Structure 1
Amino acid sequence: MTWLVSLPGADSPGACFFDCREQGPSATPEAALTRTATKHDDVHSKIEGSSDYVSNAAPVAVWETNDEGRCTFLSREWYEFTGQKLDAGLDYGWIDAIHASDRIPAREIFAAANRRRERFHLTYRLRRWDGEYRWVIDTGHPRFDDDGRFMGYIGSVIDITEWQRAEERLRANEAKYRAIFENAVEGLFQTTPEGAFLNLNPALARIYGYETPEEVIAHFNDIASQLYVDANRREEFVRLMERHGKVQAFEFAIRRRDGSQAWVSESARAVHGADGKLLWYEGTVEDITERKRAEELMRASEQRYAKLVADLDSIVWEADANTYQFLFVSRQAERILGYPLERWMNDPTFWRDHIHPEDRDYAVNYCVQSTQRGESHDFEYRMIAADGRIVWLHDVVSLEMAGGKPVLLRGVMVDITERKRVEQALRENEAFLRMSQRVAKIGSWQWDLRTNAVRWSDVMYDIYGISPGDFDGTLAGAIRTTHPDDLPGIQTTIEKIMREGKLCPVEYRVFRPNGEIRHLWGEGEVTQAVDGRPVLVTGIVMDVTERKRAEEERRNLEAQILHTQKLESLGVLAGGIAHDFNNLLTAILGFSSLAQSQLPADSGAVPMLREVEKAAQRAADLTRQMLAYSGRGKFVIEVIRLDSLVDEMVGLLGSVISKKAKLQLDLRPASIEGDATQIRQVVMNLITNASDALNGQPGVIQVRTGVRRAEGASLRSRFVPDELPAGNYAYVEVEDDGCGMDEDTLARIFDPFFTTKFTGRGLGLAAALGIVRGHRGVIHVHSRSQAGTCFQVLLPCSDQTARPAAANEPAPHAMKGHGLVLIVEDEPSLRTFTRRVLERSGFQTMDASNGKEGLERFRKCQGQIAAVLLDVTMPHMDGLEMLRELRRLGPEVPVLVMSGYSDAEVTSRFDGTGASGFIQKPFQPGELIARLCALLPQSSNGVNGDAT
């Protein structure tokens, strides 16, 4: 907030503008006044005769105070502007309309100025009648009587909000051209006492109009004549430096390189050597040209305001409070009423005689009685103009007191004839509004509790859908058509009226004769007798059926959101199921492999075990699809040529899709970053679904790839709620002309385990959706029953070049190891399987069923354990918690983490915990041995490199 205090006058030689922001947080309005340079001698003469500036039509208000600083008069515009009640702003009540943050500074500045009897003006935020705070300038002039005694202040308030907004818009328009200038630091300099520059920064060079500091140093040899517009200011600067050794905010005009003039503010100090010899001057320079320009604008604004007050279209007057003889009347009186000013001033009964006869007694008595009570007042009455016109006046009167008695009346008579005409028009409009309410179907009613009679307006019959003849005019008849479920609420409302005399808003339903249910809202007021008994209830009723329908639509939308949350919950469930299945499949696959290795090759059990192994692998594929749907699938990210991948998959699926399907390919180059295996699964599911949609009939399957720009609606899908950024996206589209889908089927196609195929598992599209979301993509489906289906997948483009797939690495040799391995797994079958696999490979083992038990065993055998095989999800203490504790005991021991979730998810959870490696369930014995041996050193404690 800025407090500008002008003392003693903005146009006087000793004027001083003080901005609290420039003086630090300790600055106060009292300090601002203390810093005033001089006292303005002719303040009294300026205020003398200023009463003709007082006018109610000022931009905000004019005001007066007494010698104690208490407000004795506020013009009508103050109350119209602030919405305060009449006379509420007097004394110190005007402060209540000021913004809470500005009140204390405003009062302190005013009090300090009042003590010094000096002119001031300040800015603050003033609350308007509608609650908006507006910036205003408040200017006050001290008043003195003929003997020089201080009488108080006269002042004015100007709304400068729009001026400030205009200035802000102007600054915004110019910001891009002035950005460098505004962001520059202050100018810094060092000069000799004679004025030659020793050093300066680029900011100061720019202030002076030069490109570089070197140009300034080279150009100036006599700054008094070359830089200062007024050389005397340079001499004054030197005198101050010699006297005080420093200057603060020394302002002067400079001549820039291009000949233009600018204003700067300089703060400097003299630097002396150890011997006391003056070495140089150094300091800062601030360009204050804009501030000076703003001050000039402010002075011009004040002048315009003074002229505006002089030209106000109101009668400003002063009168003796004892004789009611006019002492001053502004010239607007001649124009408004047509009588010469001499009549007003010389005829003691002029005012009374020219008041309209019907208003005379009231107006005179009201004014006299209010004055005798020492109360400021305002009132309205009619006067007869010289040409016979009737003129309505609003007279606002304030009193000047002395010794507790009124001595002077001041007032402003505002011509409100036009306002009265408008008020009449307003009354007519109110009548029109009542008619409009009838058109808007707002019904009104009255219930007389003394007679139990109920009266309805015509609109009430329309709302209830009945004719006047169908209503018997009783309370029972009024509530007869109320919905049975709402009758208790109506009865409670009636009881509250009788008990407390209150009627709260109520909503209820009614049946129309045609069976239609309408929702109604009503409220009213209760009229009470002298003894407090309720005797009459008056209210209105509105039909809110359409609003209720809109609320129902909103609830439906919330249900859709809940549906989305349900799908997310299914994803979590699918991930959990997949994790548990992987535990089981690890045991099935592992024991099948172990059993085959222990049987002769010609054993009849070997083919059966291989079938078990195949079935388990198919089950593992299902768990991978469930993990993909849940977003927990394993992703190996690489740059992929999407068109090449689709072309490859089309070739592989040739024997799978319908022989009657005709494939049409339009494969344009497109690269993405993703997991090739997962993307292949998406393409395979889309193409096989398209083939199935043909139902064995001839048809066409179109497959397209390419790149397109996507943004906005094209990146929003009912199936993918994620917000995706606009950009280039690779696309793959699979379109068929098969049976299509209805809306119900379309809404569920991505639900896990939902399928329309007799032999389907309902995981293909669910997994595809999870894969697409995992790749930060979106999927769209367009389908109509018997009109075909089009799936469109958009994936973020990659600007990298796809690399050819690396050659397959040779399978690792079977390894023999030895050493003690701690197996921590809560699933008994998995503990047994891993123990047998490790022991067959030469390891010794010990196991534990949870993390807590595993940690105890590790403590007992810490020096003997060569490695730890650790499950993630276990009771009592899970793998993550155990690993943290284990690293405190044995930071070097290798730990291989195993889980049914993907390595990406587990790695993110175990990041920074010291896990040595990860293996995903289900796994084969050879894979487990290879992973474990890779973590152990090739030494006596770990692995022998002999092939077996």
Structure 2
Amino acid sequence: MQNREIEELRRRVVELDALEKRNREMAEALRKSEEYLARAQRIAHLGYWERNVETGRMNWSEECYRIFGVARKELTREEFLKGIHPDDQEAVRRARREALDEGKLYETEYRVLWPDGTTRVIHSQGEVSYDETGRPVSLFGTVMDITGQRQVEKALRESEERYRRIFENAPVGIFQSTPEGRYLSVNPALARMYGYGFPEEMVSSVTSIPKQVYVDPEEHRRIIAKTLDRPGWGHYENRYRRKDGTVMRANLAIRKQLNPDGTVAYLEGFVEDITERKQAEEKMASLLRFQNEMLDTDAIWIDTLDPEGNITFWNRGAENISGYSRQEALGNKKIWEWLYADPDARANIFRRAMDSIHQSKRSQNYETTIRRKDGESRVISWYSSRLMDEEGGIIGSIVLGADITERKQAEEKMVSLQEQLRQSQKMEAIGQLAGGIAHDFNNLLTVIKGYSELSLGQLKNEDPLTGNVKEILAAANRASDLTRQLLVFSRRQVLDFR
């Protein structure tokens, strides 16, 4: 009997040990479950609460206190409402009334104010528990801190609004299209660019981008093939046709957008009208060609000097006139010695060139005689002007030279001819004067000779006056010879009456 009792006692002890072990295991499982639940609530920012309808007392989970930013304590409904943003308190009351009075699901979103002034956004939902008579006894629900979610949503809305403003107001064209060539959307800038009144008109009117927009439809095919074949942006310059048929030049940036499964969702891109810019570039290129042709003319010597007097530009005219090539002249100060062999003349001319850069603000005109590479001397007329950069700093000078050797020679010859003409005119005047005097004097001599001959005819040889008259007649004849010579000088002749 005693042994059976002992065995029964041992069996009961074993059962109690097993029961205690199961209780410990269940308690540990419950603790872990509560721990996991708390961790899950903390990670998800999700708490649970229960409110006694009759007493108004609130029972919160640990996460609820963290979500509301308050210390753990027993809360009443009034204390709970104090933590809610004043503008949201009525919405919370309304949701509670509708749940209790009308049986609706309790669900609301409101802001709570933390003691430090921080505002958090809360989403709460719950359900009513009833007793056996159908009377509501409690309201059980959850709260979730959705501040981050709302911030993300706000940022997304702001981002979408920024994109919309950019899309609507961008100065460049923006579009989305299908790979086959239909516009899905275009912004106002692109519609205006192609001559359409508004984006919807362009989307509905353009049914084939390659045929209606591209001047060369094959170019559209090539661009789309490249876009679909590689990731990222592709950049192209192309010609496009406006609604009125005119052609414009534009830059296109285009890429593909993919669906989650990797298929192409649509193409998107930017279009920049560069027609005016290309026209300006072509005009500038033409002007530059004209400028280069003008600067590299054969007729005018053009060179530029840096502030130290080194040659920095040497055109074909300078090569032709001086005989020295561009390679020989650029950066070589020996050119001054080659052009001006006389040291004094060279120093004077170099000093004048430096003065035109560093001293004189006015352009200078002067002449020098250079020695060509072949030793020939040439006279050059120079025009020199200072060169300045955009900030007003001195960067050198530009010098234009014209070979005036032939002109100087022609001027010297003209001076000689003019002198000869003056001498000829002077001799002609003298001849005219001499001819006039000789003519008048010859008239007087004719009278003297006539009367002398008449007198000799009346005088006898022995008459003392005969010798005198003969001397007069001889002197008159000599005078006649002299006047005849004067008339020859004046290119005038008279009849000889002898």
Give the alignment's TM-score, normalised by structure 2.
Answer: 0.34
The structure with more radius of gyration = 2
Give the alignment's TM-score, normalised by structure 1.
Answer: 0.20
